[in-house]
Structure 1
Amino acid sequence: MVSPSGIMDVPTAILLEIFLKLPVYAITRCKSVCKSWFNLLVSTDPYFANVYTRNPPFTTLLLSEECSGNSSTSFFLLEISEDGNNCMRTRFEPRVPDWLDAKSDLCLISSSKGLLCLCEHKYIAWFMVETIYISNPITGECIALPPHRVPYRHGATTIIVYKFDFSPSTNNFKVMRVVYTSVRTANEKVQVEIFTVGVDDGWRCLKQPSIPFSFWNTGTIFNGAYHWIDTANINCQLICTFDLGKEKEGRVINLPPLLENLWWAELTSLNNRLCLVIKSVSSHITIWTMNEYGVDSSWTKDVILRSWFPSHLSFAELFPVAILQNADILFKANNRLFCCDPKKKKTASIKLQADVEVGSFKLRFDDYAPSFSLLHELMIGGEGRSVNAKSK
């Protein structure tokens, strides 16, 4: 009798080469095959995770369906091939208690190094309770931060903004909460709180930094700091920053010279570079890229003509979300995704799967870098409740 020989006999080095070419949805299935594969793909040894993150075989986006109030009802991972011709879609569900409960709304804040920051709003009597969840959709783990109760105040307006990122200077993930409160004609009050994941036992209130109310409209998280355009001094043309690691205002960056109307400007990050997008409804979209962070002379300009896009998008808001491995740019517009080739000056629509309800919801596209690291390693020494942390 001949003993069977199969995939389990393949050397580890060859297995790794195979896994490194697979999309994320296939890897999530492979890690469930056996314990040895799980340890190879999701373990304390960071080799596979580091190599896959540095050289991903696909460009990955996070797609969320948003209904009223930015509450998300469905989440997907979109994996797009190098040429943009192939798009794979995988649905996932954050393991958040009471998700889709009639009294509970779940909103995506942002993602950083593969981790999602989600905010759950639950209304109890005269209070709104907000709970932040940090989730890794690849490993199926989720932790809850201490909840925040927002009381109802007659005649007062309260706006709460969250920011989330990894701080390279402290090697920690941090969540910043900015609470704006105004009472009719009185001056607005700003309160800033920080939670360091895996370190803090509760939210820490910072001494009030000079953060303007409008800072969250045009900004983006990049390199462990929140960046926003200083619209209070529009003639200065500056980018202000708040360093999450140092928990204070950071460097000031000069905007590119001779800019167009800044009221159409918005900061983002593309291909791990800080970018400024001028998204006017004129004949073109301008993308300024800071090729060397903090160096004013490193800004470069790319102009994308609207004539390259389908005619029905003539007055649509076009915004870049990612850059493919072949340098094509992914744009979102009217709940659709488009692949733009600046060299050939043409654009093609990327077909989404049928179960993505394009007409029923507002679709949100976010650049996403998958992570195979175990989430519980972040919790050593700090506060946080593990929620259904067993891996899928």
Structure 2
Amino acid sequence: MAEQKSNASFPPDIIREILLKLPVESLLRCKSVCKEWYSLISDQHFIKSHYSLSSTNINYAHHRLICNTRSNLISCPLYDVLFNEYVNNAIQLENPLQRTWPRRVRIVGSCNGLVCILVEDNNTLFIYNPSTRITNFLLGSKKGAVSFSVHGFGYDEMTHDYKVVKLYQTWPCWGTMIYSLKARSWKEIGLFPCPDHLSDGKFLNGALHWATGDGQSGNIVSLDLGKETYGEVLQPEYDEGSGYFELEVSGEWLCVLCDYYENRAVDVWVMKVYGVKDSWTKLASIRHPNIWGAQIFLASF
């Protein structure tokens, strides 16, 4: 009996669903299978769908924590951090600079699995994909030699463009420059609306956010990356007393950690509906913590 040929090819929709469930390392290998797979895996809509699916995985299968020491980038599985007594799989990330790590390196922000990194020794900025090892170095800005600057990193849904924001000190104000990864250029948009000391911006809902001053007299300033205009996010009704407050992002929520000097406690506030003042909710009040350590960002591999 002649051998019957099998033509068991899957429909394109089924192939797409299978590929969406693979980790990035496997997808990179699948690119070499055929031209159709290469085109599919390289498609921006596929990349966005894969990231969205990976980031909502309840088993944290593709999640890693990325943090920086003074001169290194360290990555470890989120599952180990949450559920295991010890973290045995922490690794030092490959150095994209092709030389020894500089003395001072800082994570500016993380967005869609990409990490924006600042080399403080020479003000070099680059966007790094830890999964593919692809690096995009930013061209230097004309304000590169300023004495002090802070940054922010996010994604503009309107133009499908990654943007880096640089706030540079020009006493008594802060100037604002925005770098477009698509255009590969900087442009200046005017002054930051508050003169206070700042830290790097936090990205959420298409905007970067900075906390200025303290919880009683400061502001939460937002910068819409699509419109490239500043705004203000109304704050919660803090308890009485002076304190220092730190702005973070927790999942889909804007988060404020308010440290009260008098009673040595930190209140954790989250904005459950973005832009709605009444949605601020105090999740917890933590007594005398020591939480001001290295910055940690969540990225999906």
SS for the counterpart of 2:198 is: helix
Q: Is 1:239 equivalent to 2:220 in the alignment? A: yes
Change in 2 beyond 3 A, CA 1:14/1:190 = closer
Alignment of 1:1-392 (within 5 A): 24=23, 27-29=24-26, 31-32=28-29, 35-36=32-33, 39=38, 42-44=41-43, 46-47=45-46, 49-54=48-53, 56-57=56-57, 58-59=59-60, 60-67=63-70, 71=71, 73-80=72-79, 84-86=82-84, 89=89, 91=91, 93-94=93-94, 96-100=96-100, 105-122=104-121, 129-148=122-141, 158-181=147-170, 187-188=171-172, 190-200=174-184, 202-216=185-199, 220-231=202-213, 235=216, 238-250=219-231, 252-259=232-239, 261=241, 263-280=243-260, 285-303=266-284, 305=286, 315-318=288-291, 364-370=295-301
2:31·2:41 contact (CA, 8 Å) conserved in 1?
no
**What count of residue pairs does the alignment treat as equivalent?**
290
Q: Give the distance between the partners of 1:240 and 1:166, measured in 2 at CA.
A: 17
Change in 2 beyond 3 A, CA 1:11/1:280 = farther
2:224·2:230 contact (CA, 8 Å) conserved in 1?
yes
The offset of 1:237, in angstroms, is 6.0
Letter matched to residue 193 of structure 1: M
CA deviation vs aligned residue, 1:106-164 (integer Å, no higher than 9, x gap): 43211111111112345xxxxxx422211211122111111247787xxxx81121211
Q: Give the distance between the partners of 1:237 and 1:120, measured in 2 at CA.
A: 29
Change in 2 beyond 3 A, CA 1:54/1:298 = farther
Letter matched to residue 195 of structure 2: P
Q: Give the distance between the partners of 2:149 and 2:212, measured in 1 at CA.
A: 20
CA deviation vs aligned residue, 1:29-74 (integer Å, no higher than 9, x gap): 463266238638832163475155235434424323412xxx3x24
Letter matched to residue 189 of structure 2: L
Q: Give the distance between the partners of 2:221 and 2:132, measured in 1 at CA.
A: 35
The offset of 1:175, in angstroms, is 0.8
SS for the counterpart of 1:216 is: coil
Structure 2: give runs of 5+ residues left out of the alignment.
none
Q: Give the distance between the partners of 1:44 and 1:21, measured in 2 at CA.
A: 16
- Matched with 1:352 is none
Change in 2 beyond 3 A, CA 1:318/1:230 = closer
Q: Give the distance between the partners of 2:259 and 2:181, measured in 1 at CA.
A: 35
Query: For the aligned residues, what is the CA RMSD?
Result: 4.0
1:167·1:174 contact (CA, 8 Å) conserved in 2?
yes
Q: Give the distance between the partners of 2:89 and 2:199, measured in 1 at CA.
A: 30
Change in 2 beyond 3 A, CA 1:131/1:280 = same
Structure with greater contact order relative to length (CA < 8 Å, sep ≥ 6): 1
CA deviation vs aligned residue, 1:281-333 (integer Å, no higher than 9, x gap): 85754321111111111122212555xxxxxxxx54237xxxxxxxxxxxxxx
What percent of counterpart residues are identical?
22
1:131·1:147 contact (CA, 8 Å) conserved in 2?
yes
SS for the counterpart of 1:31 is: helix
The offset of 1:189, in angstroms, is 5.1
TM-score, with structure 1 as normaliser: 0.60
The offset of 1:176, in angstroms, is 1.0
Letter matched to residue 197 of structure 2: S
2:66·2:297 contact (CA, 8 Å) conserved in 1?
yes
Q: Give the distance between the partners of 1:34 and 1:171, measured in 2 at CA.
A: 23
Q: Give the distance between the partners of 1:34 and 1:188, measured in 2 at CA.
A: 52
TM-score, with structure 2 as normaliser: 0.75
SS for the counterpart of 1:301 is: strand
Q: Give the distance between the partners of 1:238 and 1:101, measured in 2 at CA.
A: 36
CA deviation vs aligned residue, 1:198-251 (integer Å, no higher than 9, x gap): 124x3222323423232327x52322322233427x64564222223222212x
Structure 1: give runs of 5+ residues left out of the alignment.
123-128, 182-186, 307-314, 320-333, 335-362, 371-392
- Matched with 1:351 is none
- Matched with 1:381 is none
Q: Give the distance between the partners of 2:92 and 2:40, measured in 1 at CA.
A: 19
